[in-house]
Amino acid sequence: MNQVILTGNLGEDPKDFYTPEGVPISSFQMAFRSGKDKTSWIRVSCYNKQAEVAARCLHKGAKVAVNGVLDQQKWTDDQGNSRTGYRLIANQIEFIKTDGRGFNKEEDPEANADSANNENIPF
């Protein structure tokens, strides 16, 4: 069984792009605790509607919980060395703390940063 649940903070704003078929993808680095005094990083990728919501609502520093599957990637770098890395393909993202950006298009997210309530998000 390949299921991973991590809680952490975004280290960057999501990067958004599309497949040649037009499928939206959003990707970001997430920091998480991997020991008492150790922080680790993993790339998180999400697709379709989830990617659109992540692009609109997430930002550097946001705290999220991600449920997904671990995917190993292999490539050759510019010097010809074989490289391996891992990414988390998100099945579900729970917003724990954000600045409120993207939740209500009529309101200024900066004005509501301290009072953003994410409990009523429909996913």
Domain ranges of the chain: 4-96
CATH topology of domain 4-96: OB fold (Dihydrolipoamide Acetyltransferase, E2P) (2.40.50)
Under a CB-based contact definition with an 8 Å cutoff, are residues 30 and 41 in contact? yes
- Closest among 37, 39, 30 to 8, alpha carbons compared: 30
Average pLDDT, the chain: 84
pTM as predicted: 0.75
Cα separation of 107 and 117, whole Å?
A: 13
Residues 6+ away with beta carbon under 8 Å from 96: 7, 62, 63, 64, 65, 118
Q: Is the pLDDT of residue 121 over 50?
A: no
pLDDT, one tens digit per residue, over 31-76 is 999 888 999 999 999 999 999 999 998 999 999 999 999 999 999 9
